[in-house]
Amino acid sequence: MKLFKRVLSLVLLAAIVAVGALYWLGTRDDASTGPAATADAATLVDRGRYLAQVGNCMACHTSRGGKPLAGGTPIPTPFGTVYGPNITPDDKTGIGSWTADDFWQALHNGKSKDGTLLYPAFPYTEYTRVSRADADALYAYLRSVPPVSQPNKPAEMAFPYDQRALLAGWRALYFKPGVQDADAGQSVQWNRGRYLVEGLGHCAACHTPRNQLGATRASDALTGGVIPVLDWYAPPLTNDMQTGMGRWTAADIAALLKTGISAHSSASGPMAEVVLGSTQHLTDDDALAIGVYIKSLPATPASTPRQQSAAGAAAMELGGKIYRQQCAQCHQPQGEGSGTAWPALAGNPTVTAPVPTNVIRMVLDGGYAPATAANPRPHGMPPFGQILNDSDIAMLVSYIRNSWGNEAGSVSALDVKRARAASTLN
């Protein structure tokens, strides 16, 4: 009996030590800051304004019809809904009482001014790579916007995810704060591109698959993934020829970011919103730097398993007939498209993605590329969801995904039905 009690005591002690170590790892701060900003106030504000656009701050911190950066935007996650906070310089409801150090702590260590652990819906897992000088510029810009008195709405998380203390364990497993150091073996342009992609641009938030606890899978970085709740597929940014950016040049990527269109595809769904609110404002040099970095990524195939079922001969024949009736006038008989007005379907990563959701939803709902400064009146695609049934759309999409050199799986009427339901919800 004494031996049992002794063993039990040791087990409990080990458990306490393990929990304590996990909590320490999950709440630790990275003390390194790097050099602070040294520019004059006006230059700092202008720099911060640009960085806020690069980071797409408005998307999460400005509600529809609301005051800029006053918060309230619902951010749905599989674990509940988080609301973007007020980041105007209002003293009571915004960040008016925050210092530059407090703001740095939020970006770099994922903690609020009072030390509260922030939910990773705020992508501090990527923002931690941002330099202190850029954080100071962002802070200066946010201090310059009009203050808005608008209380923050608390997160609506399901149990046990509403217990913030548990975030310490999550952070211990999936978050390591630290500024990104330049790779001396790469060019200045490449390093700038990596800094934007992996830092403020937080591309991994959509283009990397997540595990069951909502963390991005580092081993599958930028290999594409379904965006939780929104049910859109963010394609791989790796250089696989079928599903990724293998057919693209750095200039093609820069063009998509700046204009919303390119020779290979056009931005749609959540990416169209990113182009509209963020990437169209990139300087030409920064857009090209992103393209250069992305083109250096390996030709890793998409991490999402491809649907393997081949389209039957009858489906391909009927799908081809529908294509010639409804689509060929714009996208051309061989899927080659028509300049940047109507994108090519041959070799289009939206079409050949392992998950067909995006192309199905485009056929269902139609849409426009984002209206950008470089392309203020984009051509649109009409919706076909009202004139084609689920079976027709399944055959049409199967035909598109398996013609002109495309080699993707077939699509079923059930796939279309699910996409139609998701489109209604979102």
- Of 28-37, 99-108, 315-324, which gets the smallest average pLDDT? 28-37
Please report the pLDDT score of residue 7 as a whole number. Answer: 56
Q: What angle do CA 372, 374, 379 make, to 5 degrees?
A: 65
Taken as a whole, the chain contains a residue count of 426
Amino acid residing at 344: A
Average pLDDT, the chain: 90
3 state SS of 75: strand
How many other C-beta atoms can be found within 10 angstroms of the C-beta atom of residue 307? Answer: 16
Kindly tell me if the per-residue pLDDT of 368 is higher than 90. no
CATH code assigned to 188-296: 1.10.760
pLDDT score recorded for residue 1: 64
* pLDDT over 70 at 365, yes or no: yes
* CA dihedral over 13, 19, 22, 28, signed as positive or negative: negative
Question: In the predicted model, is pLDDT for residue 274 greater than 80?
Answer: yes
d(CA 224, CA 235): 4
Task: Give the percent of the chain with pLDDT over 90.
Answer: 74
Q: State the greatest distance between any 2 C-alpha atoms of the chain, in Å, as a whole number.
A: 85
What pLDDT score was predicted for residue 8? 55
Is the distance from CB of 304 to CB of 224 less than 8 angstroms? Answer: yes
The model's pLDDT over 196-246, given as tens digits with 9 standing for 90+, comes to 999 999 999 999 999 999 999 999 999 999 998 888 999 999 999 888 999
Q: Is residue 15 pLDDT above 90, yes or no?
A: no
Domains 188-296 and 313-424 share a fold: yes
Out of 7-21, 183-197, 339-353, give the one with best mean pLDDT: 183-197
Tokens coding 344? 């090519």
Q: Which residues, 6+ apart, have CB-to-CB distance to 352 below 8 Å?
A: 242, 243, 401, 406, 407, 408
Determine the pLDDT at residue 112: 96
Q: Could you report the per-residue pLDDT of 89-110, keeping only the tens digit for each?
A: 999 999 999 999 999 999 999 9
Are 220 and 204 in contact, with CB atoms under 8 Å apart?
A: no
Q: Which two tokens stand for residue 60?
A: 């999460």
* Sequence-distant contacts of 386-394: CB under 8 A, at least 24 apart: 388/322, 388/326, 388/363, 390/414, 390/416, 390/417, 390/420, 391/416, 392/318, 392/322, 393/360, 393/363, 393/364, 394/315
Whether residue 253 contacts residue 237, with contact meaning beta carbons closer than 8 Å, is answered with: no
pLDDT level of residue 26 (50, 70, 90 thresholds): low
3-state secondary structure of 188: helix
- Judged against a pLDDT cut of 70, whether residue 11 lies above it is answered with no
Other beta carbons within 10 Å of 22? 16
pLDDT of residue 6: 59
Consecutive H or E run containing 232: strand 232-234
User: DSSP assignment, residue 266?
Assistant: B
Distances (CA, A) of 199 to 95, 109, 263: 22, 14, 27
CATH of domain 313-424: 1.10.760.10
Percent of the chain with pLDDT over 70: 91
Sequence ranges of the domains in the chain? 27-174, 188-296, 313-424
**Mean pLDDT in residue range 172-191:** 95
Mean pLDDT, to the nearest integer, of 290-296? Answer: 98
Compute the Cα dihedral for 262, 266, 271, 272 and give only its sign: positive
The pLDDT assigned to 311 comes to: 75
pLDDT at residue 308, as a whole number: 58
Over residues 299-328, the mean pLDDT reads: 86
Supply the DSSP symbol for 281. G
Rounded to an integer, what distance in angstroms lies between the CA atom of residue 328 and that of residue 348?
15
Q: What does the pLDDT read at residue 5?
A: 55
Is residue 95 a contact partner of residue 87, using CB atoms and an 8 Å limit?
yes
Taking CA atoms, 27 is separated from 19, 132, 158, 217, 314, in Å, by 12, 20, 22, 21, 59
pLDDT class for 425, splitting at 50, 70, 90?
low
pLDDT bracket for residue 42 (50, 70, 90)? very high
12 has pLDDT over 60: no
CA separation, residue 381 to residues 355, 369, 371 (Å): 21, 9, 14
Lateral strand order in the sheet of 156-157: 74-77, 80-83, 156-157
Q: What is the pLDDT of residue 25?
A: 57
Structure pTM?
0.90
Q: Over the stretch 125-157, which tens digit does the pLDDT of each residue have? A: 999 999 999 999 999 999 999 999 999 999 999
Q: Does 362 have pLDDT greater than 80? A: yes
Q: Is 231 in contact with 426 (CB distance < 8 Å)?
A: yes
Confidence category of residue 21, pLDDT binned at 50, 70, 90: low
